[in-house]
Amino acid sequence: MTVKDAKVSSEIGAPIKTSTSFRDDAIRRFKKNPTAIIGLIIAIVFVLIAIFGRYITPHDPFAQNIVNSHQAPSAEHWLGTDFFGRDVLSRIIVGARISLLVGISVITIRAAIGIPYGLIAGYYGGKVEMVMMRIVDAVISFPGIILAMAIMAVRGQGIENVILALSITGWPMFARLVRGEAMSLKEREYVQASRALGYNDGKIMFQHILPNCLATIIVYATMGIATPILAEAGLSFLGLGATAEQATWGFQMSIERQYLRYAWWSVTFPGMAVMIVVLGFNLLGDGLRDVLDPRMKE
């Protein structure tokens, strides 16, 4: 369409076709992804329960009443009670806060270590990249859960130690992800132009390369929140995570597993909570990948 034609079309009220913005296009594609919507709803509900859980629990999650030991789900106790007569639903609600704390804290620490590490390795390349990535390979060579169990065995139980252990074992994945992106982006024209204008390496890395890695980082971080939540539940189930004073899903399953045959609800419902939350963040991460990755466009 020429400028003259556009002017005439505007004068007679005919619509002129314009390109759809990236944000509008992303929202449109996200809305068309039902699994992503389900994942988003699960994540939002989980976060709201974690924040306001102490105000919506139907019973005191720590109050013991042996008389009510292992009561089946009923109108009074929707998900039944455990061996100590504590309301299972209330303990699941309270446990959501610890799971969210572990998930967000671990991902934040992993990203804070791995992103600049991988950015430096990918940007400079050569011997710098070789040495830095061999360190990453050495950390990854240890099974993550085994290394976390070793750290917990040395430092003892507690959510703070769980966060520390899971952060140490997971940052190399962020480093490898960002390193690959940086190696690709540093050859782009705008980076070469920045060098020609005399910008220093730090400015090029953090103002030109890193912003173009954010889409990939956001997708990986969203999906990665589920991993420490699942790992914390596993450590607590093995007796290496939360203490007896902390209501976590993994610890609840650990102390109730011996009663599974005749009090299935005290183990099954905390396990379902872990499964639903992990599934929700995975679905949300998949949806964000479809939205933010230009290769996934229709």
Whether 168 maps to a domain, the answer reads yes
User: How far apart (Å, rounded) are the C-alpha atoms in residues 105 and 280?
Assistant: 18
Report yes or no: 88 and 81 within 8 Å, Cβ to Cβ. yes
Q: Does residue 131 lie in a domain region?
A: yes
Lookup: tokens for 58: 């139907």
Per-residue confidence of the chain (298 residues) as pLDDT tens digits? 444 444 434 444 444 444 457 677 778 888 888 888 999 999 999 999 999 988 899 999 988 988 989 999 999 999 999 999 999 999 999 999 999 999 999 999 999 999 999 999 999 988 999 999 999 998 888 887 888 888 888 888 888 888 998 998 889 999 999 999 999 888 888 888 888 888 888 888 988 899 888 888 998 999 899 999 999 998 888 888 877 778 889 988 988 999 988 899 999 999 999 999 999 999 999 888 888 765 555 5
User: CA-CA distance, 93 to 252, in Å (whole number)?
Assistant: 12
Residue written as token pair 């600049």: 116
Say how many CA atoms lie within 13 Å of 18 toward its Cβ.
8
What distance lies between CA 214 and its chain's CA centroid?
Answer: 15
Within a domain: 89: yes
In-domain check, residue 138: yes
Range of the domain at 203: 39-53+81-296
Instruction: Judge contact between 87 and 70, C-beta under 8 A.
Output: no
Determine, yes or no, domain membership for 178: yes
Residue listed under structure tokens 């589920």: 226
| CATH code for the domain in which residue 124 is found | 1.10.3720.10
Cα separation, 17 vs 2, whole angstroms: 13
In this structure, is residue 265 part of a structural domain? yes
Q: Tokens 């556009």 belong to which residue?
A: 6
Is 6 part of a structural domain of the chain?
no
**How many domains are there within the chain?**
1
How far, in Å, CA of 286 to CA of 280, rounded?
A: 10
Amino acid at site 132: M
**First vs last Cα of the chain: how many Å apart?**
26
**Residue 10 lies inside a defined structural domain of this protein:** no
